[in-house]
Amino acid sequence: MSEQSPYIQSLKRAGYRLTQARLTVLHVLEAEHGHITSADVLAQVERINPAIGRASVFRTLELFTQLGIIRPTYISSSMTPTYVLMRGGHHHHVICTECKRFFEFDDCDLETLTGNLQATLGVQISGHLLEFYGVCADCRVGGQQS
Amino acid sequence: MSEQSPYIQSLKRAGYRLTQARLTVLHVLEAEHGHITSADVLAQVERINPAIGRASVFRTLELFTQLGIIRPTYISSSMTPTYVLMRGGHHHHVICTECKRFFEFDDCDLETLTGNLQATLGVQISGHLLEFYGVCADCRVGGQQS
DNA sequence: ATTTATGCAAAACTTTTGCATGGGA
DNA sequence: TCCCATGCAAAAGTTTTGCATAAAT
């Protein structure tokens, strides 16, 4: 994990210290490509550095959310959120409602809509999350066992 | 709340019973226009009909989520989800990251993208959630008190 | 009549807090 | 050196379960 990471830049720019807890959580998030529950972050951090406390992990996840680095989203059927990395302020995926697998995609073509909303609502928009729900090919084929 | 509600149709069609717990939760969701936390649903249901148990409210929220009637989303800074009504399978809003106010909007122009994703990924898409994050006009004007 | 769904109350988790101490800048 | 951020451990919430009973169909 190099200190050139744009996320580390965000932290520094906002005046936050680069602590072990924060760097470790960031490392875990990047290693998982950003689809991970708090419980899993907790477990991974514990494994990498048992000296880091539970509370710091939660405080870090909250900070990263505030900074727009990650975004909690509901994916698994449990009530605990899954955090997705907001690369460049946005994130897009398709979730299979059967098997919970997800497919990320990049181009969303929302520039026009973003501009319209900024003009209409007067909100300075900094990012977005776009989720599609559906049933993937595998679940449609294999999933006839009702 | 008439039994003509499309949400009630969904329940019936899927073979679920129209119980007091379900109808009351649905009533609360509709009255709040669908931006409401579990704690608030709990409180409102309790107020309307104290005989309805906590567990049934959670079971109902989970069922409605499965049926695509609502979708939990993380808006408040607390980790508890806010449920949004998925009218017709989709929902769009802009959230102010400062004051947490939200602005809903209808047209998202995602038909083309939906079609492309179905073709490319082989996923049968049934709905979507589109969230924008930003700072609203009020918070930009009044929010200089840092 | 048949089940499905419920209420209850306890158990199981998850997240948050307060405070003395340590580690970045 | 200074003060932000941490670890700890307990408290505070929130969600889930198991099971006998009620109530939809």
Task: Give the pLDDT band (50/70/90) at residue B3.
Answer: low
| Half-sphere exposure of residue A71: CA atoms within 13 angstroms, side-chain side | 27
Task: State whether residue B33 sits within 8 Å of chain A by CB.
Answer: no
**B133 to A96: CB separation less than 8 angstroms, yes or no:** no
Q: Is the pLDDT of residue B74 over 70?
A: yes
Task: State whether residue B132 sits within 8 Å of chain A by CB.
Answer: yes
Regarding pTM above 0.95, the answer is no
Residues contacting nucleic strand C by the 7 Å CB criterion are A 17-20, 38-39, 54-55, 58-59, 62, 80-81; B 16-17, 19-22, 51-56, 59-60, 78-79
| Chain B residues with beta carbon closer than 8 angstroms to that of A77 | 62, 66
Task: State whether residue B79 sits within 8 Å of chain A by CB.
Answer: yes
Tell me the two tokens of residue A77.
Answer: 């059927």
Task: Give the pLDDT band (50/70/90) at residue A3.
Answer: low
Q: How far apart are CA A41 and CA A55, in angstroms?
A: 12
Which of B92, B113, B83 is closest to A121 using CA atoms? Answer: B92
Closest Cα in chain B to A82 = B74
Q: Is the pLDDT of residue B134 over 70?
A: yes
**DSSP class per residue in chain A:** --TT-HHHHHHHHTT----HHHHHHHHHHHHTTT-EEHHHHHHHHHHH-TTS-HHHHHHHHHHHHHTTSEEEE--SSSSS-EEEE-GGGEEEEEEETTT--EEE------HHHHHHHHHHH--EEEEEEEEEEEE-HHHHHHTT--
Percent over 90 (pLDDT), chain B: 82
Task: Give the pLDDT band (50/70/90) at residue A143.
Answer: low
Task: State whether residue A72 sits within 8 Å of chain B by CB.
Answer: yes
Which of A81-95, B65-79, B109-123 has the weakest average pLDDT?
Answer: B65-79
Q: Is the pLDDT of residue A89 over 50?
A: yes
Q: How far apart are CA B67 and CA B65, in angstroms?
A: 5
pLDDT of residue B143: 55
pLDDT of residue A65: 95
Closest Cα in chain A to B38 = A79
Exposed e or buried b per residue across B106-115, where buried means at least 16 C-beta atoms within 10 angstroms of its C-beta: eebebeebbe
**B123 to A134: CB separation less than 8 angstroms, yes or no:** yes
The full set of domains in chain B, from first to last, is 1-85 (1.10.10.10), 86-146 (3.30.1490.190)
Quick check: helix, strand or coil at residue B101?
coil
Question: pLDDT per residue over B83-130, tens digit each?
Answer: 999 999 999 999 999 888 999 999 899 999 999 999 999 999 999 999
Nearest-CA distance B94 → chain A (Å)? 8
- Mean pLDDT (whole number) for B137-142: 87
